[in-house]
Amino acid sequence: MVSRKLLTINIVVVLLLIAVHTLGGYLMMYPIKPDFWTVVSESRPQYLLIALALFAVIAWLISHLRIKNINPKNKFLLAYTILCSILLCYIIYFDAAAYRSTRKAIKESENEYIQQAKEDIKKDKIMYRFAAGLSIPEYDVKTQNKIDSIRKKFGISYFNTGCTVDVIDIEGQQKYKETVKPYLEKRNGKGWEEKMNKEIENLEKGKLPNSYNR
């Protein structure tokens, strides 16, 4: 006779294993916030299904061993539950370690950018970094210099860090922007970004052919 208690524990463990394995897909992508189906896809459920199938085979083999006072079905459930529990503990440990490592790296990046922001504020040279790869110049050198001059008037400049997108570095850049925001508002007044962008927009319109200046 199958033990209902053992069967219930087995079902709970398997459900927890599925949930934790899926959540691991989210933790591995942190700090990116993907949608549910992306999380499921990144967790690679096919590997979990293979593991569960393998555990079933191992548990079936164990169920044929002679153990006193335990019938084969209960031996199967017990072995299967133990194997799933071991995998569950491993996934929790591995995902938690990966999450802590990412959090630590983000914190270090944020601290570096905060320090850099403080130094840039003292020099009145705020630099926004961004990853955009090698792009074809949109303007001629003269126009680009004028745009840079407008930005410099507001105390900022932009620097292309290349085509490699580092999500940890992006978090640090965001902390940099948060740190310099009060300074730039105090220096340029509220709504300074709109004013700056308007000046750049007017400059761009001035560079368009006459047929487009309407």
Number of domains in the chain: 2
Whether residues 26 and 95 share a domain: the answer is: yes
Whether residues 13 and 89 share a domain: the answer is: yes
Residue 111 makes CB contacts below 8 A (sequence gap 6+) with none
Confirm whether 111 is domain-assigned: no
Whether residues 95 and 8 share a domain: the answer is: yes
Q: How confident is the model at residue 213 (pLDDT cuts 50, 70, 90)?
A: very low
Taking residue 180's Cβ as centre, other Cβ atoms within 10 Å add up to: 23
| Domain end point (choices 104, 139, 161) | 104
- 3-state secondary structure (DSSP) of residue 127: strand
Residue 151 is given by DSSP the state H
Whether residues 68 and 18 share a domain: the answer is: yes
Least reliable range by pLDDT among 96-100, 139-143, 190-194:
139-143
Whether residues 155 and 190 share a domain: the answer is: yes
Confirm whether 114 is domain-assigned: no
Whether residues 99 and 142 share a domain: the answer is: no
Please give the pLDDT value at position 26.
Answer: 83
Domain that holds residue 164: 124-212
Whether residues 75 and 131 share a domain: the answer is: no
Confirm whether 67 is domain-assigned: yes
Q: For residue 21, give Cα distances in angstroms to 12, 40, 45, 94, 205.
A: 14, 9, 8, 11, 53
Whether residues 100 and 162 share a domain: the answer is: no
Whether residues 95 and 128 share a domain: the answer is: no
Please give the pLDDT value at position 134.
Answer: 54
Over residues 154-183, the pLDDT tens digits come to 999 988 877 667 888 889 999 999 999 999
Answer whether residue 38 shows pLDDT above 80: yes
CA dihedral 166, 185, 196, 154 (to 10 degrees): -90
Please give the pLDDT value at position 158.
Answer: 87
Give kind and range of the element (H or E) at residue 54: helix 45-62
Whether residues 25 and 98 share a domain: the answer is: yes
pTM equals: 0.71
Please give the pLDDT value at position 212.
Answer: 34
Amino acid at 82: I
Over residues 111-152, the pLDDT tens digits come to 999 999 999 999 999 999 877 655 555 667 888 888 889 999
Structure tokens, 136:
């074809």
Could you give the CA distance from residue 153 to residue 203 in angstroms, rounded to a whole number?
15
Whether residues 19 and 100 share a domain: the answer is: yes
Whether residues 168 and 205 share a domain: the answer is: yes
Over residues 47-84, the pLDDT tens digits come to 999 999 999 999 999 988 876 677 888 899 999 999 99
